[in-house]
Amino acid sequence: MESDISLEESTVAPDFFDDDFDSNDSVEEGTLPGGRYLDRELSWLAFNTRVLELAEDPRLPLLEQVNFLAIFASNLDEFFMVRVAGLKRRIATGLAVPTNIGRGPAEVLEDISRKAHELQARHARAFHDQVKPALDDAGIHVETWSDLNEEDRQRMDEVFSQKIFPVLMPLAVDPAHPFPYISGLSLNLSVRVRSSKTGRVEFARLKVPQVIPRFVPLPDDGSGRTRFIPLEDLISNHLEELFPGMEILEHHEFRVTRNEDVEIEEDETENLIQALEKELLRRRFGPPIRLEITDDMDDVTLSLLMQELDITEQEVYRLPAPLDLGGLFQLTKLDRPNLKYNKHVPVTSAALLPSDPTEKADVFASIRKGDILVHHPYESFATSVQAFLEQAAADPDVLAIKQTLYRTSGDSPIVEALIDAAESGKQVLALVEIKARFDESNNIVWARKLEQAGVHVVYGLVGLKTHCKLASVIRQEKGELRHYTHIGTGNYNPKTSRLYEDFGLFTADDEVGRDVTRLFNELSGYAIEKKFKRLLVAPLHLRKGLLKHIQHETENARKGLPSGIRIKVNSMVDEAIIDGLYRASQAGVPVDIWVRGICALKPGEPGLSETIRVRSILGRYLEHSRIFSFHNNGETRTYIGSADMMHRNLDRRVEALVRLSDRNHIAELGRLFDLAMADTTSSWHLRADGTWTRHSLSEKEVPLNDLQNVVMRRVSQRRRGGSLR
């Protein structure tokens, strides 16, 4: 999709229709064939397969391969804890609601199990057969006890007795000691022992402590190598100290994954925080859904574990030691820059630099000159978003700050800025989403700290998660109030901002300011019902608005006018949006979908989606931004925001997309799409049958362009007032 936009113009033409959509507006209906969606769960496993392919790629720096091995393991843990757990819950309760492709949960669970077994075995092979030997060659050794010489063993005996033994807690299983609770994702040792006095064989469970590094450093042997031994291996070879007078018959590693999703009926409780805290305690006791064991485990021990955990054979995963390769994250922190991506230091956005280098940066003055679009992590979060809020907190002319917090870091300067602002007498509103999955406890702590500082803390609307990324600053200037607004695609988290690719818009546009102020008022007061000018807001208007844009492109194509749709999301699952894109394709609209994770849309299907291309790009940064662009007969309309095309985002979350008004920004995102969809860019291509094919080498076996490296280079070379060229 090409556009003839003039870069000299600063604003778009008048709207072809008002974004103020009526919820009763109809969109085009039509008959589409059955079987037109891909299974969302298998599509997610295909995404994690792409992560694994990066771990297997010897062209990547070695410790980056290690990192992708760990990411794969962490991703799969969460998939089991949430998605597999959800399917099992539906089966157990009899609520066998069909999946997005009309299949029963039990049938899908079978396919997931088969694929997950295959992937976990492949993951283990990648570590043992490829990455571990490469680590050995690089002087990074993960040893076993049998690899150690006598001197090493004596020194590790001391380490064990001084630093590990006091922390361990063996738990016996006998008539006086029932089978212990096995916490989710904990690594454990099963031990069978025989009493030298009675001759009885007993079972014990030993939890590998998570407070000790998973890979214990071995002493320097003068070889220059960096050596480790897995903690569980070190413990296994000192079991006689834990069970004196007992004969150690068998010992094996195992790991349990539990249902750790949280469900809260908000309308049944007056205090959401108290209800959530109780639910978080219950989470620890969710039913087991996966048992990982080392492949040498004896049948007696396995039978006992399966019986006590109520686990089926299908849910048992036999793997070579070590289990839980998520622990490899520890090795990625080694100071070996030659084994990592070249370091990239984010630059300050050119638009935020002062005209005079000797002057102090003034974020508000920069925003007054015109809208600013920042691209993280290529452009600095600290000198843009963080500076915006810190300056607002310190500015005596700022009267109020309002912000959403979905996920943030444990030592967040963003939260500290809000506290400083409240303590200096400003009106501060923080909408803290304490139901953000797996960040609930952290967000409860921050919510209470904010409340103690005098911040007005609210938790959004009953039944909805607040996922939009908004910050509003109200400043008094020359006797009038002025809105300064930030709308982003990612969380207000300084740590993940260095790893997640996201966009953020700063604007002093009064229309956007009023939209955001009204939205904040509704979030802290009553349900969202009002309409907005430059925002598309879920759950009431976002789906309808996007469908109307898609329909408009469809109608233009039928009239023979230029048309085109480009969408970048993390997930593309929503059936109504997918059907709208199918109809657009049937009318001849070129459709480009850039998706990181799940995609239930089938591209390239004759008569259905021949004009649709789907690409996925994975790399050193997690592609996280969401972009929606519509050709609009040459007057491109582009939105950025926080919403993925999933039911939860469109129906059960408060989301917001903002329409860009600066043609330079619209053109910048257009060029980014051109790069992403180019055949010369390394990416994965989705086929109609659901298979993803990696395109990373040219026909001459020359590596294709890495999009993130290209963008990094372009942004670093950008000059003040320039754009992404």
Please identify which residue in the block is written with the tokens 């001084």.
162
Q: Catalytic one among 252, 376, 467, 665? A: 467
Could you write out the DSSP letters of every residue in 169-194?
--EEEBTTBPPPP--TT-EEEEEEEE
3-class DSSP state for residue 631? coil
477 against 285, higher pLDDT: 477
3-class DSSP state for residue 679? coil
Q: Write down the pLDDT at residue 434.
A: 63
Q: Write down the pLDDT at residue 8.
A: 30
Please give the backbone phi and psi of residue 193, each rounded to the nearest 5 degrees, phi first: -130, 155
d(CA 684, CA 48): 13
- Examine the pLDDT at 264 and tell me if it is beyond 70: no
d(CA 237, CA 126): 26
Q: Write down the pLDDT at residue 270.
A: 40
Q: Write down the pLDDT at residue 232.
A: 97
Q: What are the tens digits of pLDDT across the range 655-673?
A: 999 999 999 999 999 999 9
Q: Write down the pLDDT at residue 180.
A: 81
Question: By C-alpha distance, which of 180, 201, 176, 177 is closest to 189?
Answer: 180
Q: Write down the pLDDT at residue 348.
A: 94
Round the average pLDDT of the chain to a whole number and report it. 87
Q: Write down the pLDDT at residue 261.
A: 57
Q: Considering all CA atoms of the chain, what is the largest pairwise distance in Å, rounded to the nearest integer?
A: 91
d(CA 43, CA 597): 8
> What secondary structure letter does DSSP report for 131?
I
Parallel/antiparallel/unpaired status of strands 456-458 and 427-432: parallel
- Examine the pLDDT at 267 and tell me if it is beyond 80: no
Could you write out the DSSP letters of every residue in 206-254?
EEPPTTS-SEEEPPP-SSS-EEEEEHHHHHHTTHHHHSTTEEEEEEEEE
Q: Write down the pLDDT at residue 150.
A: 94
Q: Which residues contact 555 (CB under 8 A, 6 or more apart)?
A: 587
CATH superfamily of 350-354+361-530: Endonuclease Chain A (3.30.870.10)
Question: By C-alpha distance, which of 384, 369, 344, 252 is closest to 706?
Answer: 344
Q: Write down the pLDDT at residue 97.
A: 65
687 against 446, higher pLDDT: 687
Q: Write down the pLDDT at residue 175.
A: 59
Q: Which residues contact 700 (CB under 8 A, 6 or more apart)?
A: none
- For residue 513, what pLDDT band results from cuts at 50, 70 and 90? very high
d(CA 289, CA 323): 16
Q: How many CB atoms lie within 10 A of CB 451?
A: 14
44-58, 243-257, 269-283: segment of lowest average pLDDT:
269-283
d(CA 503, CA 641): 8
Q: What are the tens digits of pLDDT across the range 79-107?
A: 998 889 888 887 877 766 677 777 888 88
Q: What are the tens digits of pLDDT across the range 315-353?
A: 999 999 999 999 999 999 999 999 999 999 999 999 999
- Examine the pLDDT at 168 and tell me if it is beyond 90: yes
Q: Which fold has domain 536-717?
A: Endonuclease; Chain A (3.30.870)
Could you write out the DSSP letters of every residue in 552-608?
HHHHHHHTT----EEEEES-B--HHHHHHHHHHHHTT--EEEEESS-B-B-TT-TTT
Whether 693 and 640 have beta carbons less than 8 Å apart is answered as no
467 is catalytic: yes
Q: Write down the pLDDT at residue 269.
A: 37
361-375, 381-395, 423-437: segment of lowest average pLDDT:
423-437
Termini Cα distance of the chain: 17
Residue 430 β-bridge partners: 403, 457
Phi-psi region of 252 (alpha: psi -120 to 50; beta: other; left: phi over 0): beta
Q: What are the tens digits of pLDDT across the range 136-165?
A: 999 999 999 999 999 999 999 999 999 999
- Examine the pLDDT at 508 and tell me if it is beyond 90: yes
Q: Give, to the nearest 10 degrees, the angle between helix 663-677 and helix 707-717.
A: 150
Residue 227 β-bridge partners: 141
- The domain spans of the chain are 142-339, 350-354+361-530, 536-717
Q: Which two tokens stand for residue 568?
A: 């970048």
- Examine the pLDDT at 484 and tell me if it is beyond 90: yes
Mean pLDDT of 56-78: 97
Q: Write down the pLDDT at residue 441.
A: 57
3-class DSSP state for residue 625? coil
Mean pLDDT of 612-635: 97
Q: Write down the pLDDT at residue 466.
A: 83
Half-sphere exposure of 319 (CA within 13 A, CB side): 29
Mean pLDDT of 14-25: 41
3-class DSSP state for residue 641? strand
In this chain, the answer to whether the domains covering 350-354+361-530 and 536-717 adopt an identical fold is yes
Q: Which two tokens stand for residue 117?
A: 């077994």
Q: What are the tens digits of pLDDT across the range 401-448?
A: 999 987 665 568 888 998 899 999 999 998 887 654 545 556 567 677
CATH 3.65.10.10 for domain 142-339, yes or no, is no
Share of the chain above pLDDT 90, in %: 67
3-class DSSP state for residue 499? coil
d(CA 299, CA 577): 50
Mean pLDDT of 18-29: 44
Mean pLDDT of 487-495: 92
- Examine the pLDDT at 601 and tell me if it is beyond 90: yes
Parallel/antiparallel/unpaired status of strands 565-569 and 626-630: antiparallel
Whether 666 and 630 have beta carbons less than 8 Å apart is answered as no
